[in-house]
């Protein structure tokens, strides 16, 4: 079965948009291995929109643009598989994709067959140009049925931006992940807006169907298709921490062929990834500061009995975030405390009995793995 934990990988869209070809995708696969991304758990290499010819062939099949992908998708998938990685592609529930290429509407089954014959392992399925009169949930149900019966395990990444009350029907319809937000941009304002839009949505996410808060912008530094000013390393660390705690898929969007040390350290932080990939898949709940909504604490239950505590300062001024353990279920009278391990510093900082508080610079965070101990 696929989709038990949030998928991890890379997608062409955030940096490269329409400017994609098979060389880029092969180099990305090489980079997965060379930079340690594969070892850290990243496995899907996904081609987003703009890979196809503008017309289907005479038998109604999608055809890759031969200028961009002269070797065809099967050969590319074989190359990716030869590296021990998985291959993803993109289509759309409407008559066209968002960038104006053929969509899968009324071609769902033939497209699923085609993707399976190429060796596709992941399908991102968008929502542009949806014909009037057909409810969106029917379109996702169609593609889910086609994929689940195409003879290959293909992870179904539904991307309807959370429209039409998607949280109510995506899991039952067969998506493995579903975009619960609009598109991300490479800016702090976008990261903050997307994260805050997910407050109290944790009940809709879980194993085999996770909320997808869109692809990561870590390491874009204002360059590429969704660039919008870029972020600092501190902001990228906060972004990555939030996405991990929200159980979002971790789909990298930067140019992974050119990563600096800071990007690598963020994207391959093993302790942070472990929190995201916890097999129970319980998305974090949040606790707000009593009078400052920009000071947020995320609490995620982990399958070994421990917890992840994330302290976030989403505001533009310094602040103090405080967690009272009473709020997560630990009364002082119980005789326990939490041993806190800083997941970014990789060190234990001590046992705390009633609570923990820390000062945070603007847009900064601290994340701890917390283990209950007698105290
Ligand atoms: C939509 C999606 C994006 C991307 C583009 C491609 O906007 O939300 O993630 O796939 O389409 O055109």
Cα–Cα distance between 232 and 183 in angstroms, integer?
A: 20
State residue 81's pLDDT score. 98
pLDDT beyond 90 at 290: no
Percent of the chain with pLDDT strictly greater than 70: 100
- The atom number, within ligand 1, closest to the CA of 215 reads 9
Kindly give the interhelix angle for 188-197 and 233-245, rounded to the nearest 10 degrees: 20
pLDDT beyond 90 at 220: yes
pLDDT beyond 90 at 321: yes
Calculate how far, in angstroms, residue 98's C-alpha sits from the geometric centre of ligand 1.
6
98 Cβ below 6 A of ligand 1: yes
In a domain, 181, yes or no: yes
Cite the DSSP H helix spans in the chain. 13-16, 22-34, 37-40, 72-82, 108-118, 136-148, 170-173, 188-197, 233-245, 261-267, 270-276
Question: Which has the closest alpha carbon to 13: 253, 343, 256, 350?
Answer: 253
Domain boundary among 226, 248, 276: 276
Residue minimizing CA distance to atom 3 of ligand 1:
183
User: Exposure of 358 by Cβ count < 10 A (0-12 exposed, 13-18 middle, 19+ buried)?
Assistant: middle
Q: For the whole model, what pTM was predicted?
A: 0.98
- For residue 153, indicate whether it is catalytic: no
Q: Which residues contact 45 (CB under 8 A, 6 or more apart)?
A: 9, 10, 25, 28, 29, 32, 80, 85, 86, 87, 88
Do 153 and 22 belong together in one domain? yes
| Residues 46-88: tens digit of each pLDDT | 999 999 999 999 999 999 999 999 999 999 999 999 999 999 9
Do 320 and 300 belong together in one domain? yes
Number of CB atoms found within 10 A of residue 135's CB: 11
Residue minimizing CA distance to atom 8 of ligand 1:
183
Q: Which residues contact 108 (CB under 8 A, 6 or more apart)?
A: 139, 142, 143, 145, 146
What mean pLDDT is predicted for residues 12-40? 98
Do 270 and 363 belong together in one domain? no
How many domains does the chain fold into?
2
C-beta of residue 195 within 8 angstroms of C-beta of residue 314: yes
Do 366 and 241 belong together in one domain? no
Do 263 and 359 belong together in one domain? no
Residue tagged active-site, from 65, 183, 233, 292: 183
C-beta of residue 252 within 8 angstroms of C-beta of residue 216: yes
Calculate how far, in angstroms, residue 71's C-alpha sits from the geometric centre of ligand 1.
25
Residue tagged active-site, from 49, 111, 126, 255: 126
Walk across the sheet containing 307-313 and list its strands: 285-288, 295-301, 307-313, 365-374, 336-342, 347-352
Cα–Cα distance between 208 and 2 in angstroms, integer?
A: 7
- The atom number, within ligand 1, closest to the CA of 90 reads 10
Calculate how far, in angstroms, residue 150's C-alpha sits from the geometric centre of ligand 1.
25
| Residues 349-360: tens digit of each pLDDT | 999 999 999 999
212 Cβ below 6 A of ligand 1: no
Do 184 and 306 belong together in one domain? no
- For residue 348, indicate whether it is catalytic: no
Q: Which domain CATH number covers 296?
A: 2.60.40.1180
Hey, which of 20, 47, 49 would you mutate to test ligand 1's pocket, going by the most ligand atoms within 8 Å of its Cβ?
49
In a domain, 232, yes or no: yes
289 pLDDT tier (thresholds 50, 70, 90):
confident
Cite the DSSP H helix spans in 246-269. 261-267
Cα–Cα distance between 19 and 68 in angstroms, integer?
A: 9
What mean pLDDT is predicted for residues 142-159? 98
Q: Which two tokens stand for residue 301?
A: 């239950």
C-beta of residue 281 within 8 angstroms of C-beta of residue 244: no
What mean pLDDT is predicted for residues 31-43? 98
Question: Which has the closest alpha carbon to 213: 187, 175, 243, 233?
Answer: 243
Number of CB atoms found within 10 A of residue 285's CB: 16
What mean pLDDT is predicted for residues 151-157? 98
Hey, which of 18, 50, 52, 183 would you mutate to test ligand 1's pocket, going by the most ligand atoms within 8 Å of its Cβ?
183
State residue 202's pLDDT score. 95
Do 96 and 178 belong together in one domain? yes
Do 313 and 168 belong together in one domain? no
């Amino acid at each position: 079965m696929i989709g038990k934990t949030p998928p991890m990988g890379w997608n062409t869209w955030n940096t490269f948009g329409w400017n994609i070809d098979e060389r880029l995708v092969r180099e990305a696969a090489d980079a997965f291995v060379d930079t340690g991304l594969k070892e850290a758990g990243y496995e899907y290499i996904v081609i987003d929109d703009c890979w196809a010819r503008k017309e289907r062939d005479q038998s109604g099949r999608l055809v890759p643009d031969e200028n961009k992908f002269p070797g065809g998708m099967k050969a590319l998938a074989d190359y990716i598989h030869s590296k021990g990685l998985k291959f993803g592609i993109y289509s759309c529930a409407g008559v066209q994709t968002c960038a104006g290429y053929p969509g899968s509407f009324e071609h769902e089954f033939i497209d699923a067959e085609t993707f399976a014959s190429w060796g596709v392992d992941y399908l991102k399925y968008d929502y542009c140009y949806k014909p009037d009169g057909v409810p969106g949930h029917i379109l996702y149900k169609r593609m889910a049925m086609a994929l689940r019966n195409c003879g290959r395990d293909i992870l179904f990444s539904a991307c309807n931006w959370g429209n039409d009350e998607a949280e109510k029907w995506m899991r039952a319809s067969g998506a493995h992940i579903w975009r619960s937000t609009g598109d991300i941009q490479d800016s702090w304002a976008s990261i903050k807006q997307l994260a805050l839009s997910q407050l109290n949505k944790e009940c809709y996410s879980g194993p085999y169907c996770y909320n997808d808060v869109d692809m990561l912008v870590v390491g874009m530094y204002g360059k590429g298709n969704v660039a919008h000013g870029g972020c600092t390393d501190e902001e990228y660390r906060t972004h990555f921490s939030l996405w991990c705690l929200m159980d979002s898929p971790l789909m990298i969007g930067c140019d992974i062929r050119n990563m600096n040390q800071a990007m690598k350290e963020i994207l391959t932080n093993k302790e942070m990834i472990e929190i995201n990939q916890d097999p129970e898949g319980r998305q974090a709940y949040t606790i707000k500061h009593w009078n400052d909504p920009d000071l947020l604490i995320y609490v995620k239950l982990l399958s070994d009995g421990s917890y992840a505590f994330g302290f976030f300062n989403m505001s533009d001024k310094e602040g103090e975030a405080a967690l009272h353990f009473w709020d997560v279920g630990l009364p002082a009278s119980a005789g326990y405390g939490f041993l806190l391990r800083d997941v970014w510093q990789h060190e234990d900082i001590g046992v705390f009995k009633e609570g923990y508080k820390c000062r945070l610079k603007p847009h900064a965070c601290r994340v701890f793995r917390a283990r209950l101990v007698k105290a």
